[in-house]
Each structure stands twice: as C-alpha cells, then as structure tokens.
A and B are shown apart, each in its own frame.
Chain A
Amino acid sequence: MDVQLKRGLLDVCVLAAIKNEDSYGYKIIKDMKPYIEMSESTLYTILKRLELSGMLTVRTSEYGGRLRKYYHITNAGLGRIEDFKNEWREIMSIYQFVCKEETENA
C-alpha cells in the first residue's frame, strides 16, 4: 500500500480504536491486528502526533502496581473520524467510476 495513504489510514484506525472507550497501547495494537498490522514504534509516533494535534488526550493511571497510559479521544478526534467517512464516500464513488471504465473496456 502507498506509504502516505497507509499513514493517513493508521491515524484514523487508532482514533477508531479508542472511540468507544479509553484504551492503552497494547490493546490498541491487538484490536487493530485483524485489520491492519503495525509495530510498536509506529504506534508511538502516531499517538504522539495525534496528541500534539489535539485529537486525543493522555492520562497515566496505576494498574496492577505499575503505570499505564490511557488514551482518550477528543471532539476533534471524533470529527477526524467523521471527515474520514465523508472523504471515503467520495473515494468509493470514484472507485466505482474507475471500475466501470475497466469493465467497459474489457
């Protein structure tokens, strides 16, 4: 997959993984695994980027005698997911146009 495209997709996937309830690093990776694979370092970079752009907030809580970081989606993050859905509606209609051309030429 195109690198730029995958980067944008991963951002939205991480947001979707914390959309319904706050989540932590390992759980995000596990939840996403059936759909898209990513490494720990990639996740770190994405979380940092999303935090800096105000899409999510981070809180540290104690869990089983150690610290764990939980990520919480903000309204801006929810807005990003909605934007993504709208963008992809457009892209899907373009995709259908492209495929139609193919079948006509075949």
Chain B
Amino acid sequence: MHKQEFIANLRSRLSGLPSQEVEERLAFYSEMIDDRIEEGLTEQEAVSDIGPIEEIAVQIIADIPLAKIAKERIKPKRELKAWEIVLLVLGSPIWFSLAVAAFAVMLSLYAVLWSLIISAWAAFASLAACGVCGMVVGSAFALGGNGLTGIAMVGAGLVCTGFAILLLFGCKVATKGCVLLTKKIALGIKSCFVGKEKAQ
C-alpha cells in the first residue's frame, strides 16, 4: 500500500471524529512513514511497518473520549431553519421521552446483567458459609455423641464447599467477561458515531 492510500484509508475510517484531531494524527503517521522511507525502506515497507490500519483506527477511536466524539456529531452541519427548530421544540415531549425510555431500557438490561453476576457471587458466599458451618457444627455434633447426625452434617458441609469452589471459578469468569463486555460496549457506542459519513 502506498502512503497516500494509507492516509486516505485511515481518514475515511476516522470520519466523524473531530477533524482537527484527525488531521493532527494523520500528519503524525505521515511523518512516521516519511522517516522510515528516509532510512532506506521502500514506501510499501514503511507503510506495513506502521501496522494494520484497522488496529490503528480502533486504538485512535478508543483513545478519544466519548464526550468529544458525541459533541462533534451533535454539532449541526448547517444552520437549522426556523421551522425545523419549531418542530424540534414542539416534538420534544415525544422524541425526548422516547430517547429517555430507550436509554433507560438499555441501562436496565445492563443492570440485569450485573445483578445476575452479583447473585452468583451471593450464592457462592452462602454455599461457602454453609460449607464451613456444616463442617464445624457437624464435628461438634459428632464429638458430642450424635455420631451419625454429625457425620451427615460434615458430609453436607463438604458438598457445599465443593459446589462453592466450582461456583467461584464460574463467578470469576463471568465477572471478567462482563468487564470486557463493558469495554466493548463503550467502543461500540463510539464506533456508531464514527465512520458513517463517507457518503457525504
């Protein structure tokens, strides 16, 4: 790939981001490619040395705060006409409440996910507690003369502990996954704002 191609490709992937920010970054990469060429690499080698465009674009998008991207997108591309403003204001009871409702639904879905994970942790905690209590109280029973009941309780305690240990692994994986998902969602929201302006 040639340098111009690389820059054009990267620019189109970053369209929708604040333009000053994009130009600054493109100039930075352009300088990096030129410096490599000067050192003796061919143009193609220099470009491939910089790394895959997709990765660079994703990293840049992840780097720019969501608020900055959203602000850039909300900024109207032209002056709104008077009737458009009137329509926006008159329609606000409808579109505003719909937007709030949509946001609330998404938020609650996300909250449900976390509450599932929290309840799994709670189940783990209660199983672990049952395990410990079963073994302690069971041993006390067994030593106190209630042999059979005591042994049964120790057994139940051991079973609970076993389940708790299994659940611990599950909980850890689920929590990790959820944190990862949160990061992906954030990146996804940003990507919604970026790179859909090629037609314009």
Contact = CB atoms under 8 A, between A and B. Distances in A.
Do A and B pair up? The answer is yes
Interface of A: 24-27, 39-41, 44-45, 64, 66-69
A25 B39 CA distance: 14
**Closest 9 A/B residue pairs (Cβ):** A26-B35, A41-B59, A44-B28, A40-B32, A26-B32, A45-B63, A68-B31, A41-B56, A25-B32
Contacts of A67: 27, 31
Contacts of B25: 44
Nearest to A47: B28
21 contacts: A25-B28, A25-B31, A25-B32, A25-B35, A26-B35, A27-B35, A39-B59, A40-B29, A40-B32, A40-B56, A41-B56, A41-B60, A41-B63, A44-B25, A44-B28, A45-B63, A66-B34, A68-B31, A68-B35, A69-B27, A69-B31
B38 interface: yes
Given A67-B31, A68-B35, 10 more contacts: A24-B31, A24-B35, A26-B32, A39-B51, A40-B28, A40-B29, A40-B32, A40-B51, A68-B31, A69-B31
Interface of B: 25, 27-29, 31-32, 34-36, 38-39, 50-51, 56, 59-60, 63
Nearest to B30: A66
Task: Name the residue in A25, A44, A67 with the highest tally of chain B Cβ atoms < 10 Å from its Cβ.
Answer: A44
A26 B31 CA distance: 8
Contacts of A25: 28, 31-32, 35
Contacts of A27: 35
Contacts, number: 37
B86 to A, nearest CB: 42
Contacts of A39: 51, 59
A39 B51 CA distance: 9
A44 B39 CA distance: 21
A25 B24 CA distance: 13
B38 A64 contact: yes
A38 to B, nearest CB: 12
Nearest to B39: A26
A47 to B, nearest CB: 9
Contacts of B36: 26
A25 B56 CA distance: 16
A58 B164 CA distance: 57
Contact of B50 (A40, A45, A64, A68): A40
Contacts of B28: 25, 40, 44, 69
A33 B27 CA distance: 22
Contacts of B39: 26
Contacts of A69: 27-28, 31
